Chain A
Amino acid sequence: MEILSFFEWLDTSFLATISKAYGGTFAVIQMFHLLGLAVMGGMVLLSDLRLLGIVMRDVPSEIVVENTNRWFTIALIVLIATGIFMSSAVALKLYYNEMFWGKMIGLLIGVLFVYFIKRPLLSQDHSTLKPSTIRSVAITSIIIWFSVAASGRWIGFS
């Protein structure tokens, strides 16, 4: 019940008022959400494909991970900020949308995974880690973020 009242509040908040008064606002924010997706997806893929030894094999994986980390965080902030705005516009519809909750759970798992498992683990010299550990971290990361992005697209279809 408390979650529902939060969504009811969001539905009447000033963010929702803006997007309901100006239909174009939602579309423009959504465009930036997509650009954020391009940057974040690019960073996830580059870092994980490097960890799997598929791309940029001649650049140390520590360097690739370090460079993609910063842009991942920037993109994540853009995605969450634009995402909150988009959610407020259709708050009650989302509350009853299973795909939306699937995405939110995936997002929570993804954030916890990146900041509490992936980054602390990869902050050490990669040669000291077991190759199988590095591979499982990379595959887990790709699966989580692909699910989050795909379920996000599917909110619109469901």
Chain B
Amino acid sequence: MLNEWLLSLAEWLDATSWSTSIHESYYLYAWIESTHVLTITIFLGMLFIIDFRMLGLAFRKVPADVIADRLDKPMMIGFSVMIITGLLLYYAIPVRTTQSIWFRMKVILLIAAAINAFTFRTKMRQSVETWSTQPVAPKRIRNGAAFSLAFWAGVVMTGRAIAYDWFDCHKDLSSFMYWAAGCVYELESHSSGGA
């Protein structure tokens, strides 16, 4: 099953010496996490501005394709830093993160945001010349921008929640929650204890 496979991958990563080094180095972990958090100003900052432009909330007099095009590069630089630091944060605490319901929701939201971004870009490139100078983008583009804002806000919120232990495996949770969070061992003992 997927939960078992993900857990064994996490346990394997956890056993590597670098994972322990990052985790146990107070400053290195804090630096990576701070970089991860502060880079949202570059990545999400630029992304929000593009979405705001499509929704007519900012830069209404500047052509939409100019905003989307000029901010693409800084946004992607921010995105790369977020991915690298994010992977390092996962690598430093792999088992707990794999078994975090919030991390799992974050990954699902990231996939949703990626699919939305891809379709949004395609739709925008096909038609942008016809509406670029209008203060507000057409409805289907606005929907894409609204979904983008919602998905990324969700990514930030679930990401922040990973730090809280409300639904960690060592807590007394329902079978569904054990399964959803991937608490493989707890689910086994829970179901055998209940039988």
Contact = CB atoms under 8 A, between A and B. Distances in A.
Interface of A: 23-24, 27-28, 30-31, 34-35, 37-46, 49, 55-56, 58-59, 63, 67-68, 70-71, 146, 149-150, 153-154, 157
B160 A46 contact: no
Given A34-B156, A42-B45, A58-B66, A157 B30 contact: yes
Given A27-B161, A55-B74, A63-B61, A38 B38 contact: no
B62 A38 contact: no
Contact of A67 (B33, B59, B153): B59
B116 to A, nearest CB: 17
A31 B42 CA distance: 17
Contacts of B26: 157
B160 A30 contact: yes
Contacts, number: 93
Interface of B: 26, 30, 33-34, 37-38, 40-42, 44-46, 48-49, 52, 58-59, 61-62, 66-67, 70-71, 73-74, 153, 156-157, 160-161, 164, 166
Interface centre among A23, A42, A44, A157 (most CB of B within 10 A): A42
A58 to B, nearest CB: 7
B37 A34 contact: yes
Given A31-B157, A55-B70, A59-B62, A150 B38 contact: yes
Contacts of B46: 42, 45-46
B30 to A, nearest CB: 5
A24 to B, nearest CB: 8
Contact of A27 (B30, B70, B73, B160): B160
A128 to B, nearest CB: 22
A124 to B, nearest CB: 20
A150 B38 CA distance: 7
Contacts of B66: 56, 58-59
B145 to A, nearest CB: 14
Contacts of B161: 27, 31
B100 to A, nearest CB: 14
A153 B38 contact: yes
Given A42-B48, A42-B49, A43-B45, A37 B70 contact: no
B41 A38 contact: yes
A42 B59 CA distance: 14
A67 B45 contact: no
